[in-house]
Structure 1
Amino acid sequence: MLVKSLQELPELNESLKDVQKAKEEKVNMYYWGSKGNSITLEPTPFKGIFGLAIKQIACGNKHIAILTETGTVYTEGEGTYGALGLPHLKKDTTTLSLVPQLKNINIKEIACGATFTVALSDVGNVYIWGTLKWSSHFLLPCRVKSLERVFITKIACGGHHILALSKGGRVYSWGRNDWNQLGRDTTISSNAIPTKIKGLKLVESISCGALHSLAVTTMGKLFVWGNNVDERSSPIHPDAIIPTPADITINIGTGDSIKKAIAGPYNTWVLTKNSKIRRWGPFLDKRHMAKYVSLQDDNGKPIPIADIEVGNRHCLILTENGEVYSFGLSTYGQTGQGTTETVEEPKRIAMLTQRMTSISSRGDFCFCFSGIMKSLLGENLLSIFNSQSSFPDVVFHFKDNKKIYAHACILAARSSVFKNQLLDIKTKYPDKGLIDIEITTHPYELFIDMLKFIYSDRIDFSDIEKISPLSIEYEIPMLNAYVQLLRREISSVPDSTFHDDFVKALLPEDSTITKLFGNVSFILQEQHITTHKVFLVARFEYFKTMFEHGMIESQTNLIQLSGHGATTEAVHAMLQFLYSDKLDIDVNVALALIPLATQYHLSRCKSLCENIIEKEVDVESVAYVYQVSRFYGATRLQGFCLKIIQEDIVDVKKSESWKMLSEEEIREINLNNFN
């Protein structure tokens, strides 16, 4: 009873009522099909985990991993193989449980193999746990050490093999190799060490089937390798095995460029940018597809396709308009059409009346999402929105004495209309502490929803049409783009600028917004570096305590930086992280930032610094980096340095940085090296 136990939902004959209730309660996820012993024929509401919204679900043979929008991972299912990542638990569980070892790591992507789970952090680190048929078993998440110095951006899992894509567009593979699914021209049955696939460059996407793999390059070329029985990898290669990546782009006959390619369990699928789908390999007991699959509306016009996902013998299609279609075998309800009969042609899943934004499938299990994903920065800012204790400097007044408290720096960074209005008021009345703005033409409820979007970059789609006049009046590009998408005026939404808006508007030294509305300064020697209390309070617990509990800085609005060798570049980097939750700095600035991150307990900032430094450490600098990491308690970086020192001890001892080590530090290194 694995799937139904997730939510303890009513029986199937109540599903129509559930969907209506879900619509009323703004449920944003549904699931159907089979996982374990439960079969669900129609989309069934999934309300989330302990109040957390879901970003991604990945399925293994008998376990599920769920990634929340805040970067935490939960697991459930068969624990025999350790795929749940739970301490002291090697048994089945029907209760979703947090994977504790990943609690303080911001995970951005997950994937499941048959009996193991893989997670990718936002700083490019890969973690794995479960039963690996090619290596040791890991009951708890372990970082993949051999990829420590490679920034990984995407991961994919087959039944018993893994692909990882680096920031530089190279692909690493490891695991079982029975059918050359690792893309190496070798007869070894498995390889436990991630190894770069030769000749495969400038890759932008990867996918794993059960026994074959594929990659698409930035030039739109499609490479396949591995099991080719029944032409599941390539329709033009007669051999049962393709040992190394083969370019089949010019032979797939798409006539346009590739939007997405998927290695299914027994076949390969391609979605083109012209919204056509082609498949080769077994499907519905047929080897070849005689024509492309495409969708048309009642007037015969093509329906733009946003995404496709495949399971064992079925396919899901997500349109640009948010509708979900399915076709294929439905023995276990995997088409979501309320039947166990095969669905020969794509058919819209009528039960899904909300606009969906994401689909996913594995085996005979399917799920889809609606809504805009959250970000950590957005959630931080939303937590202090409309709060009188968060140092607001703007208050909007409505009839019936309703008020909304806001922050000029956030409003001005996100809306050009607010920026001009607020700068004009502040220029005329420089001593005005709290800016009062009367709102007479818009309802309180819609205005507060618009402001929530400004603070978080997300909003409920059910309200977005009503907010259209506000998005136009206040010139909020992303909000207006979502309105246009809903009206089918555009086919896709541009990339969000949310994380960059604040950096561009508030960080430059000549920022007018910060000059006029900045209300706290870091003092570095005689230099004043001005910032905004609202960001410090919303983002960092240390500063929240400082300003809310009467410390001297809360009275002077000055924060002295001394005793840690702080540099101007490091302070600006800290503010970059403050405004964007990201770091775009070189290794020297990262080293200078670690002391500040340590002083102010910025654990995520510190982790990002460690990741940047790890990619650049060499035998000449490793002793110095070891000193820094040891002194400031950067334990992960310290361990990384020890490993390099142990591997290259002779060359390290010849470096200038080695000569700067104290006797105690050398003794500690020798002790670790000996052990």
Structure 2
Amino acid sequence: MNILCLGDDNVEGLLGNSFKIFRRYARHPELLIDQTITKVCTSPFFTLFLNDSGQLFMVENFKLRPINSGEYLRDVVCGNSFYATLNTKGEVKVYGLKYLGSTSESMNYSALEEATTFEEFENEAVTQIGCNNKCIYFLTETGNLYEKKSIRNRVVRRVQESETTTSGLSKVQIEEKVERIFVGEDSIFVITQDKKLMSWGSNDGGLLGNSLSEKYSSPRVINIPIQTDEIKEIKSSELTTVILSKKQVLYEAGRLLNSSYYSTKVNFSICRQFQNQKVLAVGCKARSIMVFTERKELWCISTMHQLMETLCKKSIGSLFLIQTNMQAKTDQIYMNKFGHTFLLISREGLSKDFLQLFQSGEFSDFEVSKIKCHKQMIQFRTGQDPETVKKYLEDNFNYDEIYSFFFWLYGGQSPKLHYIVKIAENLGFTLKDKIFNHDIAKLLKDEESKDFTLKVIEENYDDEEDEFEEEIPVHKLILLARSGLFREMFKNINEKETNSVKDYSGKTVESIEKLIEFFYLDTFTLTADDDPQLIVEELQDAIDYYQLKNSSNLKFLLGSIKAQFSNK
């Protein structure tokens, strides 16, 4: 993913000069960080970025610095004055911030070098973490939920008082085992293993008539119009709670979008403003909501004067469209209470294409426990002989665990990551060194393993009977995964005898080379010798010609290039 930032001058200062800084206003958002960012966390004193290599960066006091080493992080969350990390082994660490004094310009904090760890989790791995300014929550693989007061000893109402350990950790007293958690500003929503949605807290995200009521300090079942398995995410804030379903339908139980009055009876209903289009992402913080739709429109409603002034000088309380001119889709929105908003721009076409190839079972040349796969993929991702990997997996794991491993192998986010960690360690590699996009990108320069030749045919316009033929070496698996056209072509040729195919698309060799580069990298570069206008025109046509399904990032790149040369 890439990241766009909306906000005021403070956001530009917050991020510092280490990033590619562009103009600050929402109507002119620009690509900000030239790497794949998977999560953003914000507080009044620092901003955290987690990339797909499990590396965590902090922007603090206008400086960027990496703050973890030697471990691959799965997740990070933060409150005003602390943050917590979760690694692939299910281990958690909590870091507080040390107050260093203040100047006329700002208050200075610094992350403590030593982290708080928890012996309680030695026998069960943590699978999910969440936090607000009052509590940090830890969900384990066995369905147990634990909580810890915030580092700065704020008062927090307990679900039910229980014995607290020396590390400040206590087990939440809830009868059902928990499957997923969604933590709001002053509340928490959980999905139990028997598929109930439950909630408690001092403020159930605008669900209550009286946000300070003691009545809801213990878990209660929340009725919703969809099954809990359909929930993609729940976002809650001071005034409202929204549910985004996996079918991209948005529901609300507060009053911002649906303008309904508070009631002690919770009624989620479809947000009527977005009932005729799919919602791809939603952000919810303080007294504001951001909604991004399938039409690439970013909508906002807020009762905060500061956010309205920050983004577009609109009056509070009205739903309005933020003009972003975005060429790509976003599926994650992060906000803080000061109106700073971060949108992660999806660049998942690469992994989606490979996952679809894996799940289709097409062109497979290998089987592990009757799971169809590709020998090349095993070699690319593990560096091991496929037969060795097959024997180890079949001897030590069941079908579901092996399928989860292959789901990860082809770029998916597997829920059984602890099995994958074990498999990786026994096969002699670490997940930190095995990021899907990075592994595929390395193949572009690996000439020895390329097993296929794409012969690009160009006509000689000075002599109609003459034509040029340029050979481009490539991995056949890359063409199969990324292009529907090549999949159709390979169905009609003898795969065992043919290791090349001719391309009569009429595109220039330079454009085809850029397309092949995009197949491997999900991006491409331009040199001083390239004609950007010609390449943009040819690649725009190539999206349909080569049947590129997951091409949102290519469209984003082409739109950005087109905007640059059209403004010269």
Taking structure 1 as the reference length, the TM-score comes to: 0.52
- Asked whether 1:240 is paired with 2:221, we answer no
Shift of 1:339: 0.9
Equivalence map 1:381-460=2 (5 Å): 381-385=440-444, 387=445, 389-398=447-456, 399=458, 402-411=470-479, 417=486, 421=490, 427-428=496-497, 435-441=499-505, 443=507, 444=509, 447-448=512-513, 451-452=516-517, 454-455=519-520
Partner of 1:224: 199
Q: CA deviation digits over 1:518-550, x for unaligned, max 9? A: xxxxxxxxxxxxxxxxxxxxxxxxxxxxxxxxx
- Asked whether 1:360 is paired with 2:334, we answer yes
Q: Distance in 2 between matches of 1:179 and 1:284?
A: 33
Q: CA deviation digits over 1:400-455, x for unaligned, max 9? A: 654432123554577785598499656337xxxxx443212252466456545654
- Asked whether 1:106 is paired with 2:81, we answer no
- Asked whether 1:126 is paired with 2:92, we answer yes
Kindly indicate whether the alpha-carbon contact (under 8 Å) linking 1:180 and 1:241 is maintained by their aligned counterparts in 2. no
The amino acid across from 2:271 in the alignment is: S
The structure with the larger Rg is 1
Match among 294, 306, 313 for residue 271 of structure 2? 294
Are the structure 2 counterparts of residues 414 and 280 from structure 1 closer, same or farther at C-alpha, using a change threshold of 3 Å?
A: closer
Q: Distance in 1 between matches of 2:436 and 2:141?
A: 23
Shift of 1:280: 3.6
- Asked whether 1:377 is paired with 2:436, we answer yes
Higher relative contact order (CA 8 A, sep 6+): 2
Q: CA deviation digits over 1:93-117, x for unaligned, max 9? A: 2111111xx2332223221111011
Q: CA deviation digits over 1:313-348, x for unaligned, max 9? A: 111112133321101134223686411631x23222
Kindly indicate whether the alpha-carbon contact (under 8 Å) linking 2:334 and 2:342 is maintained by their aligned counterparts in 1. yes
- Asked whether 1:53 is paired with 2:36, we answer yes
- Asked whether 1:322 is paired with 2:308, we answer no
Partner of 1:568: none
Q: Distance in 1 between matches of 2:164 and 2:495?
A: 71
- Asked whether 1:95 is paired with 2:63, we answer yes
Moved more, 413-422 or 310-319: 413-422
Q: Distance in 2 between matches of 1:378 and 1:281?
A: 41
Q: Distance in 1 between matches of 2:501 and 2:491?
A: 10
Shift of 1:58: 0.5
Q: Distance in 1 between matches of 2:284 and 2:193?
A: 23
Q: CA deviation digits over 1:203-245, x for unaligned, max 9? A: 2332132x3222234666331112149x845459994353332
Equivalence map 1:623-642=2 (5 Å): none
Q: Alignment RMSD, CA only?
A: 4.7
Are the structure 2 counterparts of residues 38 and 182 from structure 1 closer, same or farther at C-alpha, using a change threshold of 3 Å?
A: farther
Kindly indicate whether the alpha-carbon contact (under 8 Å) linking 2:256 and 2:302 is maintained by their aligned counterparts in 1. no
Shift of 1:131: 4.0
Q: Distance in 2 between matches of 1:215 and 1:367?
A: 25
Corresponding residue SS for 1:332:
helix
Are the structure 2 counterparts of residues 32 and 388 from structure 1 closer, same or farther at C-alpha, using a change threshold of 3 Å?
A: same
Equivalence map 1:273-292=2 (5 Å): 275-280=249-254, 288=262
Query: Which structure's residues are more often helix, by fraction?
Result: 1
Partner of 1:260: 233
Q: Distance in 1 between matches of 2:321 and 2:125?
A: 39
Corresponding residue SS for 1:174:
strand
**Gaps in structure 2 of 5+ consecutive residues:** 15-23, 100-110, 351-410, 412-434, 459-467, 526-535, 556-568
- Asked whether 1:469 is paired with 2:537, we answer no
Match among 180, 195, 209 for residue 204 of structure 1? 180
Are the structure 2 counterparts of residues 117 and 208 from structure 1 closer, same or farther at C-alpha, using a change threshold of 3 Å?
A: same
- Asked whether 1:269 is paired with 2:237, we answer no
Q: Distance in 2 between matches of 1:52 and 1:267?
A: 33
Shift of 1:155: 1.9
Kindly indicate whether the alpha-carbon contact (under 8 Å) linking 1:332 and 1:340 is maintained by their aligned counterparts in 2. no
Equivalence map 1:471-620=2 (5 Å): 471-472=546-547, 479-480=548-549
Kindly indicate whether the alpha-carbon contact (under 8 Å) linking 2:300 and 2:320 is maintained by their aligned counterparts in 1. yes
Moved more, 324-333 or 268-277: 268-277
The amino acid across from 1:249 in the alignment is: N
Corresponding residue SS for 1:382:
helix
Are the structure 2 counterparts of residues 450 and 224 from structure 1 closer, same or farther at C-alpha, using a change threshold of 3 Å?
A: same
Number of equivalenced pairs: 419
Q: Distance in 2 between matches of 1:287 and 1:126?
A: 40
Match among 22, 34, 42 for residue 26 of structure 2? 42
Partner of 1:160: 134
Taking structure 2 as the reference length, the TM-score comes to: 0.60
Are the structure 2 counterparts of residues 322 and 411 from structure 1 closer, same or farther at C-alpha, using a change threshold of 3 Å?
A: same
